[in-house]
C-alpha cells in the first residue's frame, strides 16, 4: 500500500493524515522526527488504509472514529 500512496507535503495539518489513498505530512513536523519515527508515522497512516478505516467510518463522528482507529493501530 505504501508503494501506491502519494506522499504529499501539507502545512494545513499539524502532523500527518491520510484520506485512505494518499498520505499528507507536515514537513516541519516530519523533519524533526528520527528515521525510525518517520517510518513509524508512515506505517501508521498506511495501516489506516489497510484496515479500511475511512470507508468503514460511515456516518460516525469523525474525531471519535479516528481516536478509536488510532488505538487499534498503535496497540
**3-state secondary structure at position 16:** strand
Q: What is the mean pLDDT of residues 5-15?
A: 95
Instruction: Show Cβ contacts of residue 28 under 8 Å, excluding neighbours closer than 6 positions.
Output: 11
- For the chain, the residue count is 75
**3-state secondary structure at position 12:** coil
Q: How far apart are CA 70 and CA 68, in angstroms?
A: 5
Q: What pLDDT was estimated at residue 28?
A: 98
Q: How far apart are CA 19 and CA 7, in angstroms?
A: 11
Looking at the whole model, is its pTM more than 0.95? Answer: no
**What's the pLDDT band for 72 if we cut at 50, 70, 90?**
very high
**What's the pLDDT band for 74 if we cut at 50, 70, 90?**
very high
Kindly tell me if the per-residue pLDDT of 38 is higher than 90. Answer: yes
Amino acid at each position: 500500500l505504501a508503494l501506491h500512496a502519494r506522499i504529499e507535503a501539507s502545512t494545513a495539518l499539524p502532523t500527518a493524515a491520510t484520506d485512505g489513498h494518499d498520505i499528507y505530512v507536515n514537513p516541519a513536523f516530519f523533519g524533526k522526527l528520527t528515521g525510525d519515527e518517520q517510518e513509524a508515522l508512515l506505517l501508521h497512516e498506511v495501516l489506516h488504509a489497510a484496515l479500511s478505516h475511512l470507508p468503514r467510518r460511515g456516518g460516525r463522528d469523525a474525531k471519535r472514529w479516528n481516536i478509536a482507529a488510532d488505538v487499534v493501530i498503535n496497540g
